[in-house]
């Protein structure tokens, strides 16, 4: 029974971390406990959640994407320019970018290249393309996108409902379907998946293409919230997405991931920035403080796992 309790606690750790941080914010700033307050706190949580899911998909097949931040910035630039002025061309460019993500997955698999090196190189490609599309910050989000991202839902801000829907859809797709089991199996036991007749090349291309798709969602939702584009607007999303996956219970190897935990991790990191601002912490120290929060949560996870192993 003790082992079950430890396992349940480890699974609940992402939700507990979010709850503790939210309680601390409400204690420091009681006015945040309102519709407007929550909306301000979680305003940018959805783009980060989309980027975190994109990173999680790549991590599922034992790879790492160091280009997701630059890619989200590229999508934001396209969204603020071509998607508004020439919608069909803008959609074509975004579709081609998803295909490029799939091609990167194929290259990594066929040439057995380190994903860190390939995606790091791609980060410069996406950043360069973003600068070509929008040399200086500006542009304007399409009216339909701005309306969608500022839509006011009853009871709770739209971000919360959208995050719940995102977590549920990805959870069902990856954790409750036969093909989702194959995709996860490619990270956990690639040889068994291949012996079962599945193409590892197609699996990797599918996961990278899905990562590109969610990266597009991240960029479009971001430009819908900020109303303009900037090539450097989301560079920090690379580290935030990795931290969100790990904070949510995912691991770098073995196909061990949690879509619900990843979304909770993204929301926790978003709230952490607000919490540190309420503490009036110097902005130069805030990134380090976010890292400290991540280390504390990971240390708790390790302690729980060790306790679980001892009782097994």
Ordered by where they begin, the domains of the chain are 13-311 (1.10.3470)
Structure confidence at residue 2 (pLDDT): 46
pLDDT over 80 at 11, yes or no: no
Q: How confident is the model at residue 7 (pLDDT cuts 50, 70, 90)?
A: low
Give Cβ neighbours of residue 157 (< 8 Å, ≥ 6 apart). Answer: 35, 38, 39, 42
Q: Pick 182 or 286 by higher pLDDT.
A: 182
Q: Pick 254 or 188 by higher pLDDT.
A: 188
Mean pLDDT computed over every residue of the chain = 90
CB count in 10 Å sphere of residue 177: 11
Structure confidence at residue 308 (pLDDT): 67
State phi, psi for 146 to the nearest 5 degrees.
-65, -40
Q: How confident is the model at residue 8 (pLDDT cuts 50, 70, 90)?
A: low
User: pLDDT tens digits for 57-83?
Assistant: 999 999 999 999 999 999 999 999 999
User: pLDDT tens digits for 109-137?
Assistant: 999 999 999 999 999 999 999 999 999 99
pLDDT over 90 at 291, yes or no: no
How far is the CA of 239 from the CAs of 20, 69, 184, 233, 234, in angstroms?
Answer: 22, 8, 23, 14, 10
pLDDT over 50 at 1, yes or no: no
């Amino acid at each position: 029974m003790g082992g079950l309790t430890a396992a349940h606690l480890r699974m609940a750790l992402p939700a507990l971390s979010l709850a503790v941080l939210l309680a601390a914010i409400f204690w420091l700033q009681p006015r945040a406990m309102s519709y407007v307050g929550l909306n301000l706190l979680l305003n940018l949580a959805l783009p980060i959640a989309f980027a975190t899911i994109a990173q999680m998909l790549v991590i599922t097949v034992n790879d790492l994407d160091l280009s997701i931040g630059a890619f989200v910035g590229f999508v934001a630039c396209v969204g603020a320019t071509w998607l508004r002025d020439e919608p069909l061309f803008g959609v074509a460019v975004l579709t081609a970018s998803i295909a490029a993500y799939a091609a990167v997955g194929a290259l990594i698999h066929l040439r057995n290249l380190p994903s860190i090196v390939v995606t790091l190189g791609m980060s410069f490609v996406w950043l360069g393309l973003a600068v070509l599309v929008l040399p200086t910050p500006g542009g304007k989000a399409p009216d339909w996108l701005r309306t969608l991202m500022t839509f006011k839902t009853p009871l709770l801000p739209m971000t919360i409902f959208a995050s719940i829907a995102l977590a549920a859809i990805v959870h069902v797709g990856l954790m409750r379907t036969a093909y989702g089991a194959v995709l996860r199996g490619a990270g956990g036991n690639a040889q068994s998946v291949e012996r079962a007749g599945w193409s590892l090349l197609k699996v990797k291309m599918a996961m990278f293409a899905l990562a590109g798709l969610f990266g597009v969602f991240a960029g479009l939702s971001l430009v819908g919230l900020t109303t303009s584009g900037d090539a450097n607007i989301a560079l920090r999303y690379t580290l935030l997405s990795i931290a969100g996956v790990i904070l949510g219970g995912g691991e770098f190897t073995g196909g061990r991931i949690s879509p619900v935990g990843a979304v909770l991790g993204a929301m926790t990191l978003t709230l952490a920035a607000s919490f540190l601002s309420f503490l009036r912490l110097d902005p130069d120290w805030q990134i380090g403080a976010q890292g400290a929060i991540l280390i504390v949560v990971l240390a708790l996870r390790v302690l729980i796992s060790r306790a679980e192993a001892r009782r097994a």
